[in-house]
Structure 1
Amino acid sequence: RAPFIMWLFFEPGLSPGEIIGGWEAKPHSRSYMAHLAIQCKKKTYICGGFLVSEKFVLMAGDSGGPLVCGKTAQSVVTWGPVNGSPPRVYAKVSTFIPWIQAMMRRLQP
């Protein structure tokens, strides 16, 4: 089970070309790929996805889906407007690593 945890570590220095999510995508394979880190009350919220057109946004996944950068899970989609419009909010995976490890230990036979 240890290799699973290795995929969850947070890597700093995200950039727009590193966003993939849902099904694998090549950097800049979408016309309007975007990445946005929002600071709010000393917390950073990472949002990302691609624009189909200037008025329609698809995000990197739906609730529970990953925002993956460099083959590492950075965030998990937590919530956003039902109609798919921005903003979308992601939970930073590295924040939950101690909890994930505790749950994995607890669930082992």
Structure 2
Amino acid sequence: MSLMMQLLILVLLPVALLLPPGSQAGEIIGGREAKPHSRPYMAYLKIQRKGKTYICGGFLVAENFVLTAAHCNGDEISVMLGAHNIREQEQSQQKISVCHRIPHPQYNKETTNNDIMLLQLAKRAKLNRWVDTIALPRASEKVEAGAMCSVAGWGGTSTDCELTPARLQEVDVVVMPDATCARNPNGPYRDYNTSTMMCVGDPKTGKDSWKGDSGGPLVCGKTAQGIVSWGPPTPPGVYTKVSTFIPWIWETMRRLQP
């Protein structure tokens, strides 16, 4: 396995969970179960790719659009909204298929730059107390280092055990200065790009909190400021900086609105 492949370990979590020991998919470690339906924007993505099933997170930004990571792309994607326990059929759940997958045109698989994708839903979600949108930042809005944010997902909760939780997990994480990721040009962060990425998670806390589910939102205040993207096995992790892509997001949604 090349070094590059080892670094891009926020790969999708195969539902079959045939991950080799030591490989990591996006996951929440050192967190807690979220209060049911306290994050009504959370989306659970099931991705079919070359006959295998993977999972990712995502978040509802309009009645018929979900934002996620471009590396969560596949041949077919279905979205579940309003879920807390994904192994139960909750009355709050809405399952909707995706009719358009729009990864960012400059997404780079090698460097994971521009790791963002819009999914247009085949029908509008019914907004209610279980399913709702989350606010996006203003274009180029900055999140200061030291800000406390949170990330949530249904990824695994331990690096030793490959079971994934049925219920949504969440963890609090701190935004680090770009320099924490960018200062070592030859290390695991050599593809870190300050204009499109955020460096999140204090290496001292012991919470491997960068491992939210790939594609899930980094929520600061009430705004989705980041998207779980990639990173080495210990924090900080790298998140797509949503504010950089606001013009592209709005333009793409406008273009596709019937």
- What band does the TM-score fall into relative to the shorter chain? 0.5 to 0.7
Query: Cα offset for 1:68?
Result: 0.9
Which ranges in structure 1 are unaligned for 5 or more consecutive residues?
none
Q: Deviations over 1:43-102 (max 9, x none)?
A: 254233477x64x52326222111110010111122123xx3234211110111111112
Instruction: Tell whether the 8 Å contact from 1:47 to 1:87 is kept in structure 2 after alignment.
Output: yes
Could you tell me which residue of structure 2 aligns to residue 9 of structure 1?
137
Could you tell me which residue of structure 1 aligns to residue 51 of structure 2?
none
Could you tell me which residue of structure 1 aligns to residue 250 of structure 2?
101
Name the TM-score, length of structure 1 as normaliser.
Answer: 0.63
Could you tell me which residue of structure 2 aligns to residue 78 of structure 1?
229
Instruction: Tell whether the 8 Å contact from 2:214 to 2:229 is kept in structure 1 after alignment.
Output: yes
Q: Deviations over 1:10-49 (max 9, x none)?
A: 5545364631121566xxxx6xx53312144982542334
Of Structure 1 and Structure 2, which has the larger fraction of its residues in helix?
A: 1
- CA-atom RMSD in angstroms: 3.4
Which amino acid counterpart does residue 106 of structure 1 have in structure 2? R
Residues 87/16 of structure 1: CA separation in 2 closer, same or farther (3 Å cut) = closer
Count residues with an aligned counterpart: 98
Q: Does 1:64 align with 2:215?
A: yes
Q: Does 1:38 align with 2:178?
A: yes
Higher alpha-carbon Rg? 2
Which ranges in structure 2 are unaligned for 5 or more consecutive residues?
1-61, 64-132, 153-168, 183-191
Q: Distance in 2 between matches of 1:67 and 1:104?
A: 21
Q: Distance in 2 between matches of 1:104 and 1:35?
A: 29
Q: Kindly report structure 1 stretches of 4+ aligned residues shifted beyond 3 Å.
A: 10-17, 39-42
- Residue 249 of structure 2 aligns to a residue in which SS? helix
Could you tell me which residue of structure 2 aligns to residue 21 of structure 1?
151
Residues 57/42 of structure 1: CA separation in 2 closer, same or farther (3 Å cut) = closer
Q: Distance in 2 between matches of 1:96 and 1:13?
A: 15
Larger CA deviation: 39-48 vs 92-101: 39-48
